[in-house]
Structure 1
Amino acid sequence: MVNLKPLSVEDVSPFYEWLNDDLSIKYSLSLFQSLRSKDHIDNWFLSVVNDSKNFNRGIFLNDSNKLIGYAGICNISKLNRSGEYFIFIGDRQEWGKGIGSLVTKLILDIGFGNLGLNRIMLTVSEPNYAAIKAYENAGFQLEGRMRKACFRDNQFHDKLLMSILEDEWHDRINLGIK
């Protein structure tokens, strides 16, 4: 269904449309709310492509090799063996097809297997029900709530803090739940 590959500078074009689509960025990074011009997007994207401290991958459709978003793990602490999962599917035509769930599981495999992490966390906006369901299906557990931490649609809403541990991930694999 999808292939995760490193992003290159040539992959920036779809982000011009996605980051100027209010629905696509509604629950994404707050930074995305201010990246509207081509120059701002180019500068941000260049920092993502050249980022060696975090694990970033483009999400490409297998059948067409079309870029539909990106995902990875940022804020990696080698000492604590932890990081923060993120995903952004900018191409709304690909929403609701299970791609987010699949990518989440692929990135968790890499995080626990290749990167040697013990804990992967994330934050998610409470109204983003589809994302919460995908994260729960991948094994993430609710750790806490950041009250009124996000402002969208002229109102505040909570962000949820979720995480999964390496042994929980491996238990899911051993039980065939993955």
Structure 2
Amino acid sequence: MSQQTPAPRVPRLLQTERIYLRPFETTDVDAYFPGLFDAEMRRLTGTQNSFTRTQVGKFIENAGQDDSRLMLLIALQDNDQIIGEVALMDMHAKNRSAHVRIGIDRAEHQGKGYGSEALLLMLDYGFGICNLHRIELEVYAFNERAIRAYEKLGFQREGTRRDALYYNHRYHDAILMSMLEHEFRERHTAG
């Protein structure tokens, strides 16, 4: 009788009961690649470029090489399915600031709170481990559901970049939002 060795578990950097965040692995190309072609995801993120599987593979290989960014995949606890990504980018040590980006891949996973959970984990990591003072994001004005979610988490609107995105024959505004460390602590830390 032969014994099967269980597959090694992928490291789970951050987690809640429903989701976990983990680093990219080179084997993630097949799971990550299709999400780049989801029409609604492309609209919400303003993605206009297309990518080859080879380009995505190189992107994943290099994801951990840049000290100014932390890119993590969002996966479901119950079946390990990758449902999106969250990233701290442009981390600036002197200013203690960064930009956060998040995307949930398909409509079936959107509107269920997974993005808010992942973002909350990343904010806690950014403010608590990376010692950031300010985390900002940009969202297109037509993405009202995301704006409400960001405001519910405590992000504040700072301004509007008018006609910042040309997509599907129209210009769209981009809303700049941010959260400061003390605002996060007051809202999300007990005690």
Superposition TM-score, scaled by structure 1 size: 0.91
Structure 2 match to 1:25: 42
Task: Work out the number of aligned pairs and report it.
Answer: 174
Task: Mark the structure with the bigger radius of gyration.
Answer: 2
1:65 Cα deviation (Å)? 1.0
1-structure distance, mates of 2:70, 2:33: 22
The 8 Å contact of residues 142 and 163 in structure 1, kept in 2 or not, is answered as: yes
One-letter identity of the residue aligned with 2:33? Y
**Counterpart contact for 2:141–2:175, Cα < 8 Å:** yes
> How far did residue 137 of structure 1 move?
0.7
Mapped to 2, the partners of 1:174 and 1:92 lie a distance apart of 31
| Corresponding residue for residue 139 of structure 2 | 124
Taking the TM superposition and a 5 Å limit, the aligned residue runs for 1:92-131 are: 92-131=107-146
Residue from 83, 86, 89 that aligns with 1:68 = 83
CA contact (8 A) 1:9 1:49 kept: no
1:143 touches 1:162 (CA, 8 Å); kept in 2? Answer: yes
Query: Equivalents in 2 of 1:146, 1:14: separation in Å?
Result: 33
Between the aligned partners of 2:157 and 2:190, the Cα distance in structure 1 is: 21
Instruction: Please give the per-residue CA displacement for 1:62-84, whole angstroms capped at 9, x wherever unaligned.
Output: 00111111102100000000000
* Paired amino acid for 2:169: N
Higher helix share: 1
In the alignment, which residue of structure 2 is the partner of 1:151? 166
| Separation in 1, partners of 2:106, 2:67 | 25
SS in 2 for 1:36: coil
The gaps in structure 2 that reach 5 residues or longer are: 1-17
Letter in 1 for 2:32: F
Distance apart, 1:90 and its partner CA: 1.3
CA–CA distance in structure 1, aligned partners of residues 165 and 44 of structure 2 = 9
Given the alignment of the two structures, is residue 12 of structure 1 paired with residue 29 of structure 2, yes or no?
yes
Q: What percentage of residue pairs aligned between the two structures are identical?
A: 33
Q: What is the aligned counterpart of 2:149 among 106, 117, 134?
A: 134
Q: Residue 72 of structure 2 corresponds to which residue in structure 1?
A: 57
Task: Mark the CA change 1:130 to 1:101 in structure 2 (over 3 Å): closer, same or farther.
Answer: same
**Is the CA contact (8 Å cut-off) linking 2:76 and 2:83 kept in structure 1?**
yes
Distance (whole Å) between structure 2 residues aligned to residue 153 and residue 35 of structure 1:
15
- Structure 1: how far apart are the matches of 2:189 and 2:105? 33
Q: 1:8 touches 1:49 (CA, 8 Å); kept in 2? A: no
- Which stretches of structure 1, 4 residues or more, deviate above 4 A after TM superposition? none
Name the aligned partner's letter for residue 132 of structure 2: L
**Secondary structure class of the residue paired with 2:99:** strand
The amino acid across from 2:20 in the alignment is N
Determine whether 1:170 maps to 2:181. Answer: no
- Give the Cα separation in 1 of the matches to 2:60 and 2:70: 14
8 Å Cα contact 1:84-1:122 kept in structure 2: yes
Q: TM-score, normalised by structure 2?
A: 0.85
CA distance in 1, matches of 2:132, 2:114: 23
